[in-house]
Amino acid sequence: MLKAPRRLWMALILAAAFPGLGGGQTREAPYIAPKPAWDRFTVFVWQYKTSIRRDRALYNAAGFRGFDIDRGAGKEAIARYAADNGLLYYVDHVADKGYLHLTERTGRDEILRKREVLERPRSLADPKTLQVLREHIGKNIAAMKDGPVLAYALDDEPSVGVFNTPCEVDGSATSVAGYRDWLRNKYEKIDRLNAVWRTSLRDFDEARPVSFEEMRIRHRQPTFSKWNLSRWMDWRSYMDSQFADCLASLVNYANELEPATPVGIAGGQQPAPYGGYNYAKLCTAIQWIEAYDIGGTCEILRSLWAWPNRRPYMQTWFSTGDARRDAWFLWYYLLHGNRGVIAWPEDKNGSWFKHNGDQLAPYIAANAATLREIQGDVSRFILDTDTRFDADPIAVVYSHGSVQAGWVMDAGVHGRTWPNRSSSMDNANQTAGINRVAWFKLLEDCGFQYNVVTDEQIADGILLRDKYRVVILPRLITLSSEQARAIEDFAKAGGTVIADYLTGVLDENGVGRTNGGALDKLFGIQRDESKGCFDGKTIAEINAELYQKPFMERLSYKGAITWNDLVVAERGLIAKTSTAAARVKGADVLIKRDLGSGRCTYLNLTPVAYYDLNTRLGDVGGQWRQILTTLLAESGLQPRAVVIEKTGEHKNESIPLTETVFWRKGDEVVVGVVKNPTRKASVNTSGAIDDVFGVPVEVELRLSRPAAHIRNLRTGETLPDGDIISATWDPGEALLFQMTWPSRP
C-alpha cells in the first residue's frame, strides 16, 4: 500500500528541486552566445605541470592567451591576474570531481566488469547528489564570474558509468522509479509496453531494467526478424535521458548564478550505448563541449549546433612532438568550426614549459607564429556566430538506436566477457562509429560537404523542409515507421536515397520486422537472412577480440562475397522490383529503383574498410569514390571546388586526401583547404601515416563558378576574379580564401 505514495513523494521532490529529472520531459539548456572576447580561435592550456604565473614568459613566447582554472573557489587571485594581464580562461570541474566522473575513490571499480544491473555510486538520480553538485557549482561560480571567464565545464570526461565502457547502472530505487515514469511517458498504456516487450506485466511498477546479459544469448544470429532488444534499449535510452536531464538541470542552475557564460562539459565521448553519449539528447542539455573526435563527433556537433545556435565545441590538443603535425591539427579543427582547443601540456620531459630545464619545448616554440596567426583575425569569419557552415544539400543520418543495436552485433564475439569491452576497445572497434566516419571521409574525398541529421529530425520532416537533395542512410539498422514514411515522401518528392546495408531491419525499439526492412518496398529488395552477412558466420563486422591486430585484419571478410573487391554485406539480398548492377553468388549489389524524379539506391556493400587510410588511397578507395560520385552526379550534384596540382609528378591531377570546406555569411564565403587523413579512434593521436602531408606544392583551386573580390585570408593578397585561384600550399597547413560568391540558384 505504500508503494504508490512513496513513488509519488519521490517524484514530487525531483520535480520541485531538479526539473527535468525523474522520467519526465528533458529540460533543455538555452543557447548562450560566446562572449565577445571569444570571437577568435583560442588555445586554453591545461594547468598540468605548469603555472600561468610562474611560466608566463614561456606562454608569451609560444603565443598562448588562454588557460584553465580548476574548480574556482580559492582561486580568485588567479582570476584577477588573468583580468589584469589580458588573459582568458575557462573553469574546469566546476561541479567538482568524483560525481559526474567517478573515480577510484568514489566507487568506479564497483561497477566495472560486472554483468548485472547495479546502483551507481553517487547516483545522478539522487536529489542528495544533485544538491551536492549544486553547492560546488555555487561556490565555484561565485569565485570566478567577475573575471574574464569564457566557459564553465561541469566536469571532465563525465559519464553515467565510466567513459563509454559497459556499466549496467543505475539500478538504484530512485533511478528505477524514474525509469518507470519514463516508460509511462513513452508507452502511456501497459498494454502497449507489453506488446513491444512481449511481456505480461500488470502495470508499469513491475517493469525493471535488464542487463545486456539477458539479451546476449538470444541475439547472436543474423535472423534480425526474430530479435527483440526493446527491454535493454529502453533501459539504455532512459539512462541517456537521465544523464542529459542531470546535465541540463545543472546547466540551468549555473545560468541562474551567471547567465552570460555557457556551461558544458569537457572530455566528451563518441556516441555509444553506455556512458550517456546520445548526442541527439546531449546537444540540447549543454551549452558547449570539448569532445574527442571519435566516431565523427566533430561533424555531429557542427551539424546539430548549426546557425543560429552555434554553441562552442572544441578539441583536446595532445601534441605529437612534431611541429608540422601539430600545425595541421590546429588548422584542421579551426576549418571545421572548433572555437579552440584545450592543450594537454605534457611531453616525455615533463612539461612543454620545463623542457630540458626552463625552456619551451622546441616543437611548441616552432609553432609560435602559427599559434599567433590562428588565434588572430584569420579565425574571426569562421567563428562569427552569424556565419553558417555551407554544406552541399546532402544529409547523413545519425541514429542512436542503430548505435545501440550495432553494439549488440559487435559484442557477440565476446561472449560472457562483454563487460570487458572497454571504452578504448569500443572506440577502436565500434562498427557504427567507424562506418559513420567512413561515409564522412568518402563524401569529403569526393569533394562534398554534408550535414548530420538525427532520425528524430527525419520524422519531423527536415529533409523536405531544409531542401536536401540526397539523404544517406549509413547502417541505419533501426527505423520507425514514421521515419520510413518521411524518407519515402522525400523520394517521391524527387530526392535521392542511398543506403548501404541492414536498413530498417529493426524498428525504433529494437524489435525485428517479420515482413522485411522498413524500406524494403522503397528499394524494391527482398532478403533471405538465413544466408547471413559478411563471412556468413558472424554478425560482428569488426572483431574486437582481435584488437591487437591491424584494423583490416579485424574485419570479418575472410570468405565474404566480393564484387570488384568490395565486400557484400547481406549474402541473401536480391532485387525484386528494382535493378541490380550485378548478382554475385546469389547476392545483388548496387540496386537502383527510380520513383518518379526520385532515386533510390541500396548498395548492399559495406564501406567500413574505407576507414583504413591505405584502403582510401588504394584501388578499393577509388572504386568507392567512383560509385558515390556517379550517384551524386545523377542527382545533379558536382563538387563546388577541386584542388589540382599544377606542377610535379601529378601535374593536373586532383590531390588526394584533400578536403575543401565552406563557411558563408550572406554572399561572403570563406573557402578552406586542408589535408584530411583518417584520425584513428584514439583521444591522443592524429592518426596520420608517414609522409601523408608532403612538401609545399603549387596548386589551383578550381571553383564550379566564378567568384569576385577574392582575397587570401592568410597573406592579405588580393587575387583576380574568376573560377581559378592559384596558390602555394604547404599541406601541413591550410589555405583560406574569402570571396563574394552568392548562393547557388
Cis (ω within 30 of 0) for the bond into 170? Answer: yes
Q: How far apart are CA 476 and CA 192, in angstroms?
A: 24
Q: Where are the beta strands (DSSP E) in 474-524?
A: 496-499
In the structure, what pLDDT confidence band is assigned to residue 92 with cuts at 50, 70 and 90?
A: very high
Q: How far apart are CA 452 and CA 454, in angstroms?
A: 7
Q: How far apart are CA 699 and CA 696, in angstroms?
A: 9
The 3-class SS string of 61-97 reads HHCCCEEEEECCCCCHHHHHHHHHCCCEEEEECCCCC
> Do 672 and 526 belong to one domain?
no
pLDDT of residue 9: 47
Average pLDDT of the chain is: 94
Cβ neighbourhood burial of 432 (10 Å; 0-12, 13-18, 19+): buried
Q: How many CA atoms lie within 13 A of 398 on its CB side?
A: 28
- Residue 229 maps to a domain: no
- Residue 173 maps to a domain: no
Q: Where are the beta strands (DSSP E) in 302-385?
A: 313-318, 340-344
> Do 404 and 423 belong to one domain?
yes
> Do 497 and 380 belong to one domain?
no
Residues 253-264: tens digit of each pLDDT: 999 999 999 999
> Do 557 and 678 belong to one domain?
no
Of all residues in the chain, the percent with pLDDT exceeding 90 is 90
Cell numbers found for residue 485: 514514411
For 219-282, the DSSP string reads SSSS-GGG-B-HHHHHHHHHHHHHHHHHHHHHHHHHHHH-TTS-EEEEEEPPS-SSSS--HHHH
Looking at the structure of the chain, the number of domains it has is: 3
> Do 415 and 517 belong to one domain?
yes
> Do 627 and 657 belong to one domain?
no
Q: Which of 16-30, 558-572, 709-723 has the lowest mean pLDDT?
A: 16-30
Average confidence (pLDDT) over 529-546? 95
pLDDT of residue 25: 53
- Residue 13 maps to a domain: no
Q: How far apart are CA 296 and CA 452, in angstroms?
A: 10
pLDDT of residue 12: 44
- Give the CA angle between residues 646, 647, 649 to the nearest 5°: 120
- Residue 90 bridge partners (DSSP): 68, 151
Residue 18 has pLDDT above 80, yes or no: no
Residues 429-461: tens digit of each pLDDT: 999 999 999 999 999 999 999 999 999 999 999
Residue 683 has pLDDT above 90, yes or no: no
> Do 539 and 555 belong to one domain?
yes
Listed in sequence order, the residues at least 6 apart from 337 whose beta carbon sits closer than 8 Å to its beta carbon are 298, 302, 310, 313, 382, 383, 389, 663
> Do 95 and 161 belong to one domain?
yes
Q: How far apart are CA 269 and CA 426, in angstroms?
A: 11
Q: How far apart are CA 413 and CA 270, in angstroms?
A: 21
Q: Report DSSP state, residue 608.
A: G
pLDDT of residue 677: 92
Cell numbers found for residue 408: 549488440
pLDDT of residue 23: 56
- Residue 197 maps to a domain: no
> Do 556 and 689 belong to one domain?
no
Please name the residue that has the C-alpha cell 505504500. 2
Residues 704-733: tens digit of each pLDDT: 999 999 999 999 999 999 999 999 999 999
The C-alpha R_g of the chain, in whole angstroms, comes to 26
Q: Where are the beta strands (DSSP E) in 322-384?
A: 340-344
pLDDT of residue 218: 85
pLDDT of residue 685: 53
The residue range of the domain holding 675 is 641-740
Q: Which of 124-138, 146-160, 211-225, 607-621 has the lowest mean pLDDT?
A: 211-225
> Do 536 and 406 belong to one domain?
yes
pLDDT of residue 301: 98
Average confidence (pLDDT) over 197-221? 93
Report strand pairing: 579-584 vs 587-595: antiparallel
Dihedral sign of CA atoms 575, 577, 582, 583 in order: positive
pLDDT of residue 21: 55
64, 341 contact by CB (below 8 A): no
Number of H-type helices and E-type strands within the chain? 24, 27
- Residue 228 maps to a domain: no
Residue 680 has pLDDT above 90, yes or no: no
> Do 428 and 380 belong to one domain?
no
> Do 584 and 678 belong to one domain?
no
pLDDT of residue 37: 96
In the structure, what pLDDT confidence band is assigned to residue 207 with cuts at 50, 70 and 90?
A: very high
pLDDT of residue 389: 98
Question: Domain boundary at 571, 602, 634, which?
Answer: 634
Average confidence (pLDDT) over 35-62? 96
Report strand pairing: 42-45 vs 340-344: parallel
Residues 373-396: tens digit of each pLDDT: 999 999 999 999 999 999 999 999
The CB density around residue 465, as the number of other CB atoms within 10 Å, is 9
